[in-house]
């Protein structure tokens, strides 16, 4: 393993220092990571957002992008694993190399292990070490020991950062865009049915979510890779191995220099020939399987046999406790203090509690989605029953192009008392829409929805007119879509004053 060419300082680090190491590596190679990221994810994001718009479910595109994050996370791991040895690959090389990397762990992360809170730590193990199924389980139990809580807390922290970045964009718009230009821009997303919001707004929300994930997810994977390097350094003593190798190189270089000096004194031509031969040798490129998985090369058979025996040993991956009697005088002697490189176990307990809480929240979300799907299918299914049980769908008996009566309140009250309540509210709604258009000096298009009429009503300068117009539109929505009609007292309040008693609109 070519530890001499590694570009980071190998030493025992705490979990926070390991996360900082990953962040520093990402800052150093940001261009290589994000160029490969956008080269793969941007076309997929366009397809997912377009698919969500076509099927009428605006949240589907963003959900698909979030679900495929384990597939996208392969790119930062590959780039950083090469960049550790001072050679960051380009985005074309990164995309081409994905075919040669293992895919079994990625398929598991996209299915039953999608909600794994240790994904950033598990990903380098599955992609770089190339272990078999029998070796991967014991290896993972050893690798995650003492840092599983830190890996879980890293997942929760990055998830919160994504949510903060996502909602900050909308808060920025709400703070700096004038209310007259954008009135209640995002209310449709959080009230009643999200499908009532405009298509452009849904696409904008999906784009903001995609860029929030694109900003935070590489940081998350890089921090997990820093934890992985630190844990490998602790388990395999990379820092000690590297120190011995440097010592060996210094001694060999000193010996070569001594021999070279003697050779120059005796045979000057030999030094010149040795220099030419050394310059003619090409530099060997670093390969991931050679660096992270020396067992696959088969060059060091003794090391391979020893590693296989270690994996087959029943004691592998288990803590060993040794109890022995020590004389009191020896026990009281001063001993060097052990360096505690990890925080106490409180963080692991806290992370475990949050893990249980999030799994419970996931179960609740799945139940809500199932109920939503059942209701959605039930609303679209044809209603089979008696004709009297069918919902009245006629909006009004008046033609859409017919002029409104001069006495809008009287005509509405006449229809209401004759039992035609839906027609009465439809007439009152039409009159309210035209009165709002006349007051705002802006014509209402023929295909205007109730949401657009509400925005125009809220833009009125008269507070009393604004409240009455909103009340009439809401009353019509309850009657048209939920078959909920107002009482006699409520209809009398709507027919008193503007806009019902202003006469015909000019």
Based on C-alpha coordinates, what's the Rg of the chain?
35
pTM: 0.56
- The encoded tokens of residue 299 equal 């060059």
Using DSSP's 3-state secondary structure scheme, residue 128 falls into helix
Q: What are phi and psi of 139, to 5 degrees?
A: -65, -40
Which pair of structure tokens corresponds to residue 384?
Answer: 């089979």
pLDDT at residue 3, rounded to an integer? 60
Asked if residue 238 lies in contact with residue 11, where contact means CB atoms within 8 angstroms, the answer is no
| C-alpha to C-alpha distances, 454 to 237, 469, 474, 484, nearest whole angstrom | 67, 8, 9, 19
User: Is the pLDDT score of 453 beyond 70?
Assistant: yes
3-class state of residue 100 by DSSP: coil
Tens digits of per-residue pLDDT, 245-297? 666 666 677 667 666 666 666 655 544 555 555 554 454 545 555 555 545 54
Stretch 203-210: mean pLDDT:
89
Q: Which of 7-11, 148-152, 153-157, 461-465 has the lowest mean pLDDT?
A: 7-11
Q: Is the pLDDT of residue 449 over 70?
A: yes
Listed in sequence order, the residues at least 6 apart from 60 whose beta carbon sits closer than 8 Å to its beta carbon are 48, 51, 52
User: Please, which residues have CB within 8 angstroms of residue 158's CB and are 6 or more apart in sequence?
Assistant: 216, 217, 219, 220, 223
Helices (H) and strands (E) in the chain, counts: 22, 0
Average pLDDT over residues 452-472: 81
CA–CA dist 89, 73 (Å, integer): 16
Least confident window among 218-222, 304-308, 495-499? 304-308
**Residue 230 in this model has a pLDDT that exceeds 80:** yes
For the cut 60, the answer to whether the pLDDT of residue 35 exceeds it is yes
The Cα–Cα gap between 263 and 259 comes to 6
User: Which of 61, 72, 4, 21 has its CA nearest to residue 209?
Assistant: 61
Domain extent listing, the chain? 3-236, 346-381, 408-494
pLDDT band at 387 (very low <50, low <70, confident <90, very high): very low
pLDDT 10s digits, 394-439: 444 444 456 777 788 888 888 888 888 888 888 888 888 888 888 8
pLDDT digit string (tens) for 169-187?
Answer: 888 877 877 665 555 555 5
Question: Is cis: bond before 242, omega within 30 of 0?
Answer: no
The answer to whether residues 93 and 36 touch, using CB atoms and an 8 Å cutoff, is no
């Amino acid at each position: 393993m070519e530890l001499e060419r590694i570009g980071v300082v190998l030493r025992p680090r705490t979990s926070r220092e390991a996360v900082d190491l990953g962040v520093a590596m990402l800052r150093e190679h940001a261009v290589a990571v994000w160029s490969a990221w956008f080269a793969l994810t941007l076309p997929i994001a366009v397809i997912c957002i377009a698919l969500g718009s076509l099927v009428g479910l605006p949240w589907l595109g963003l959900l698909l992008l979030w679900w495929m994050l384990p597939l996208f996370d392969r790119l930062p791991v590959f780039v950083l694993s090469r960049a550790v040895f001072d050679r960051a690959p380009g985005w074309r090389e990164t995309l081409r190399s994905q075919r040669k990397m293992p895919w079994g762990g990625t398929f598991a992360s996209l299915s039953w292990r999608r909600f794994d809170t240790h994904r950033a730590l598990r990903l380098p193990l599955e992609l770089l070490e190339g272990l078999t199924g029998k070796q991967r389980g014991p290896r993972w139990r050893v690798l995650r020991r003492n840092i599983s809580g830190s890996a879980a807390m890293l997942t929760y922290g990055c998830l919160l950062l994504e949510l903060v970045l996502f909602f900050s964009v909308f808060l920025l718009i709400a703070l700096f865009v004038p209310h007259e230009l954008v009135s209640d821009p995002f209310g449709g997303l959080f009230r009643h049915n999200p499908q009532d919001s405009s298509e452009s707004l849904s696409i904008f929300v999906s784009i903001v979510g995609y860029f929030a994930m694109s900003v935070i997810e590489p940081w998350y994977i890089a921090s997990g890779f820093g934890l992985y390097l630190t844990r490998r350094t602790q388990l395999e003593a990379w820092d000690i191995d590297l120190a011995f190798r440097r010592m060996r190189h210094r001694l060999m270089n000193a010996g070569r220099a001594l021999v070279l000096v003697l050779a120059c004194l005796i045979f000057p031509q030999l030094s010149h020939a040795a220099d030419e031969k050394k310059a003619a040798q090409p530099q060997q490129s670093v390969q991931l399987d050679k660096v992270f998985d020396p067992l696959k090369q088969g060059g060091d058979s003794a090391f391979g046999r020893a590693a296989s025996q270690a994996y087959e040993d029943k004691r592998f991956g288990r803590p060993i406790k040794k109890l022995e009697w020590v004389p009191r005088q020896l026990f009281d002697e001063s001993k060097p203090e052990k360096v505690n490189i990890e925080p106490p176990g409180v963080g692991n307990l806290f992370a475990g509690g949050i893990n249980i809480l999030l799994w419970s929240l996931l179960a609740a979300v799945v139940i809500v989605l199932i109920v939503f799907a059942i209701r959605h299918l039930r609303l679209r299914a044809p209603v089979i029953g008696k004709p009297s049980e069918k919902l009245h769908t006629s909006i009004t008996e008046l033609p859409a192009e017919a002029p409104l009566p001069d006495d809008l309140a009287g005509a509405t009250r006449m229809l209401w008392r004759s039992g035609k309540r839906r027609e009465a509210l439809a007439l009152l709604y039409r009159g309210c829409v035209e009165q709002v258009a006349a007051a705002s000096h802006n014509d209402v298009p023929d295909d205007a929805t109730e949401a657009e009429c509400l925005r125009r009503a809220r833009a009125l300068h008269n507070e009393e007119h604004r409240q009455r117009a909103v009340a009439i539109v809401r009353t019509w929505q309850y009657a048209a879509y939920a078959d909920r009609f107002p009482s006699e007292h409520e209809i009398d309040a709507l027919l008193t004053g503007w806009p019902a008693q202003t006469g015909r609109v000019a």
